[in-house]
Amino acid sequence: MVSPLRIAGALTALALALPVPLAAQDPETRMMTPRDGELPAVARDQLADWQAVGRLNTRGVSRLGMCSAALVAPDTLLTAAHCLAGPDGNPTSPDMLHFAAGWYGGDSAADSPVASYEIHPQAYARVQLDVEHDIALVYLAEPISEVDPLPLGSRLAPPFALAGYHDHRPHRLSARFDCAGRPVHQLLFVDCPVRPGNSGGPALSGGPDWQIVGVVTASARGNALVVPVDEWVRAQLLQGAPYTSE
């Protein structure tokens, strides 16, 4: 017969091995402990390094509609085309768009309304969205000088990073910096989860000197589909923003 003391000791060991309930954790720890299928929050002491990533509010500054976007020049964002025109190519008025760089808890490092945007010419060439060209450039009405833009890169090799805002945590930047990935046709399949709101957020490579190599377009089997930066994006940036080249 097993003694009561041995049973009590085993139960105590089991209790110590169980994870701490989320309700018993402090708020910051809960932020850093993502649920399945989402990116974790970026630690507070790292947020200043990622202020070029922000929320692109797509239904006016006070509305709930949002995507993610990244500053690639003082007056230019990179995001997903479907954030601006939806699945059927019905364009959103620039007046309804607003960018908040480094959005955190209701405040931002800088913000600006949108003046105009350009969608990749092949994104809606067949009316319905071609996900392989789901990429766009957004031009701000007020250039942002307080935040350094993120550089573009071309090295499509892991580890990849994903950064952006999602519906489970819309007021705090979330990211992962250890994602595997591989090309799939003209897209990049990145083995990190994304949720609504992450669309348009940057995919990066080359850490610790991270460079943008694409934007998140969709979720596939719980992971991210990324549209790589192509020559159209590079040509538009060089044509309209020569200060991005040293």
Which of 163, 208, 179, 204 has its CA nearest to residue 69? 163
d(CA 221, CA 225) in angstroms, rounded, equals: 10
Contact 225, 219 (CB under 8 A): yes
Beta bridge partners of 224: 190, 219
Q: Kindly indicate the confidence band of residue 7, based on its pLDDT and cuts at 50, 70 and 90.
A: very low
The label of the residue with tokens 């350094």 reads: 148
Kindly compute the dihedral angle of the four CA atoms of residues 164, 92, 114, 188, in this order, to the nearest 10 degrees: 30
Whole-structure pTM value: 0.82
Specify the higher pLDDT residue, 18 or 65: 65
Alpha-carbon 48 to chain mean position? 16
pLDDT tens digits, 195-244: 989 999 999 999 999 999 999 999 988 899 999 999 999 999 987 543 33
| Sequence-separated (6 or more) residues with CB below 8 Å from residue 20 | none
d(CA 185, CA 205) in angstroms, rounded, equals: 19
Alpha helices in 116-240 (DSSP H): 231-240
Task: Report pLDDT for 54.
Answer: 97
d(CA 134, CA 42) in angstroms, rounded, equals: 26
| Sequence-separated (6 or more) residues with CB below 8 Å from residue 127 | 88, 89
Task: Report pLDDT for 65.
Answer: 81
101-124 average pLDDT score: 94
Q: Which helix (H) or strand (E) holds 240?
A: helix 231-240
Instruction: Kindly report the backbone phi and psi dihedral angles of residue 44, in degrees, each rounded to the nearest multiple of 5, phi listed first.
Output: -55, -40
- State both tokens at 161: 């990073």
Contact 229, 244 (CB under 8 A): no
